[in-house]
Amino acid sequence: MVNREIERLFCYSRDELLGLPVEILIPERYKTGHSILRAGYFKNPEPRMMGKCRELFGLRKDGIEVPVEIGITPVETEEGVFVISTIVDISYRKHAEAEQRKLEEQLRQAQKMEALGQLASGIAHDINNILQAIQASAEIAVKDTIEPVLVDKFYEIIMNVERGKHVVERILSFSRQKSLNVQPLDLKKQTEATIAFLKAMLPPEVQLQLHAEPGLPHILADVNSVDLILMNLTNNAAQAMQSGGKLDIALESFYAKDNFVRMHPELNEGCYVRMLVRDTGEGMNEEIREKAFDPFFTTKASQGGSGLGLSIVQRLVLEHGGSIWIDSEEGAGTAVSCLFPAANDSAVEYIGDDISMPYGNSQRIICVDDESALQTVNNQVLSGLGYRPSVFVDPRVALDVFKSSPAEFDLAVIDYSMPFLNGIKLTSELLKIRPGFPVVIVSGSVKGSVEKQFKKVGAKALIRKPYTRLELAHTLFSVLNSD
């Protein structure tokens, strides 16, 4: 006897089923056990619910298994004992239970992330103070040093501290859930810049190589986040290759097709750029791989790992509208793929090239700072950036030189606080001689009054000390190329 519901559930017609043993509806692995149980049941038949202690599955005609609940009742007839079996498809309930478990897991993750946010902002705050102290010392050291090699090194310190401050800022905003500063970004250039800095931190046994597909589209991303992602992934890779190995960073365009998007519902069909960070290190087993993104999960507790790296990376990638996954084989290595949404062409037109150093074109710069120790530094830095500097310590001398040949110069960089003529007064004198002449004021003070004064006097830009070479390069370049 077969009813409609059984026909629907198992995709067989009534005619196909009649006369066949019930085992046709049972998955292969349970078939033998079922025949034995069935024989046993007929010795002492009584109504009962099956599957109290284990899950039951039915087998459809097309081979698909369906979770079911089964109740059986013996019926005495003239022809002997028959059994009526009620089979209920519980796929829907199973699905709802799985959804519920997923939601609980998400809630648990959200609570962990909140705790993580609080912790991170505390740590970030302390690191920020330390970075400030390093920067201040490096700044003083730069002033006291005339040895060109050391000056260069101190500038490197200042620049890297600046980088560290961006990372800290990112962690702070991460815990405050601030939105990202997403802009079209040349991932190749950005990666090259970050790698130059990372190489100094990697052990010499680790060989790092970048492979970038030519003509890669720009991505829509926040520069500091991309830095942070790269840093975490390369750190993990290097830590997995204690006795050396190869670390490859590959950048390639990636089209997320509909079947891929179905597996990664966080994505939309379309163009992405994939950043692949691959190592030949120890790899991960299945259990570690599954937990790797969990906040606080670490196998490096004894080496000071916090287990936060990958959870931060995952969160950042997802906030960008991207996706991240890990391929790993124990003993062979690991590859982490991050997808970032590609910028469309019109967005790329507005690109501000933020990362490469913009060089000058031998323009003449009159630079005035009363700090005599800075004379060499300024000379070096400005020449290094492709300009021809004339550096003065006394603003009155600078003014005389400018008066005698105002057309000789293309731009002035002037310190704000100087004896005899402060930066604002000197600027106003220069502008009287040559109206519209581009002046950049440099100031160690952060008071709002400097801000107002420099605009009022007609200077084109204000740079705050301590400034990085990159900041200076950008300011000079944009002032000189503003019209």
Ligand X SMILES: Nc1ncnc2c1ncn2[C@@H]1O[C@H](COP(=O)(O)OP(=O)(O)OP(=O)(O)O)[C@@H](O)[C@H]1O
* CB of residue 308 to Mg ion, shortest distance in Å: 8
Tell me: does residue 378 bind ligand X (CB under 6 A): no
Backbone conformation region of residue 420, classed left if phi is above 0, alpha if psi is from -120 to 50, else beta: left
Nearer to ligand X, 324 or 339 (CB): 324
Tell me: does residue 415 bind ligand X (CB under 6 A): no
| DSSP track, 346-382 | HHHTT----SSPPP--S-EEEEE-S-TTHHHHHHHHH
- Span from 35-43, 64-72, 101-109, 235-243 in contact with Mg ion (CB under 5 A): 235-243
Taking the CA of residue 366 as centre, how many other CA atoms within 13 Å lie in the half-sphere pointing to its CB? 25
End-to-end CA distance of the chain, in Å? 90
* CB of residue 283 to ligand X, shortest distance in Å: 6
Distance CA 440, CA 477 (A): 11
* CB of residue 117 to ligand X, shortest distance in Å: 15
Virtual CA dihedral for 370, 375, 377, 381, nearest 10 degrees? 100
Residue whose beta carbon is closest to Mg ion = 309
Which amino acid is residue 443, in one-letter code? Answer: S
φ/ψ of 359, rounded to 5, equals -95, 155
Peptide bond into 466 cis (omega under 30): yes
Distance CA 308, CA 227 (A): 16
Tell me: does residue 236 bind ligand X (CB under 6 A): yes
Q: Which does 190 bind (CB under 5 to 8 A by kind): ligand X, Mg ion, none?
A: none
Instruction: Identify the CA nearest to 438 among candidates 468, 407, 459, 409.
Output: 459
Instruction: Identify the CA nearest to 234 among candidates 359, 348, 353, 335.
Output: 335
Nearer to ligand X, 50 or 208 (CB): 208
Are β-strands 206-212 and 245-256 bridged in parallel, bridged antiparallel, or unpaired? parallel
Tell me: does residue 237 bind ligand X (CB under 6 A): yes
Nearer to ligand X, 334 or 378 (CB): 334
* CB of residue 200 to ligand X, shortest distance in Å: 18
Nearer to ligand X, 260 or 297 (CB): 297
Site string for Mg ion, 298-337 (x = CB under 5 A): -----------x----------------------------
* CB of residue 366 to Mg ion, shortest distance in Å: 49
Are β-strands 364-368 and 388-392 bridged in parallel, bridged antiparallel, or unpaired? parallel
Tell me: does residue 297 bind ligand X (CB under 6 A): yes
Tell me: does residue 261 bind ligand X (CB under 6 A): no
Strands (E), 51-132: 56-59, 65-77, 80-89
Site string for ligand X, 303-342 (x = CB under 6 A): --xxxxxxx----------------------x--------
**Is-contact 441 423, C-beta < 8 A?**
yes
Partnered with residue 278 across adjacent β-strands are 248, 335
Tell me: does residue 281 bind ligand X (CB under 6 A): yes
Distance CA 256, CA 270 (A): 5
Q: Which does 383 bind (CB under 5 to 8 A by kind): Mg ion, ligand X, none?
A: none
Nearer to Mg ion, 236 or 453 (CB): 236
Nearer to ligand X, 241 or 398 (CB): 241
Among 173, 190, 194, 236, binds Mg ion (CB under 5 A): 236
Backbone conformation region of residue 296, classed left if phi is above 0, alpha if psi is from -120 to 50, else beta: left
What is the separation of C-alpha 456 from the centre of its chain, rounded to a whole number of angstroms? 41
Nearer to ligand X, 298 or 323 (CB): 298
Among 279, 369, 410, 415, binds ligand X (CB under 6 A): 279
Instruction: Give the pair of three-digit tokens for residue 340.
Output: 């970032």
Count residues binding ligand X (CB under 6 A). Answer: 23
Nearer to Mg ion, 335 or 431 (CB): 335
Q: Which does 227 bind (CB under 5 to 8 A by kind): ligand X, Mg ion, none?
A: none
Residue whose beta carbon is closest to ligand X = 309
- Per CB under 5 A, residues contacting Mg ion are 236, 309
Give me the residues that bind ligand X (CB under 6 A), please: 232, 236-237, 240, 279, 281-284, 288, 292, 297-300, 305-311, 334
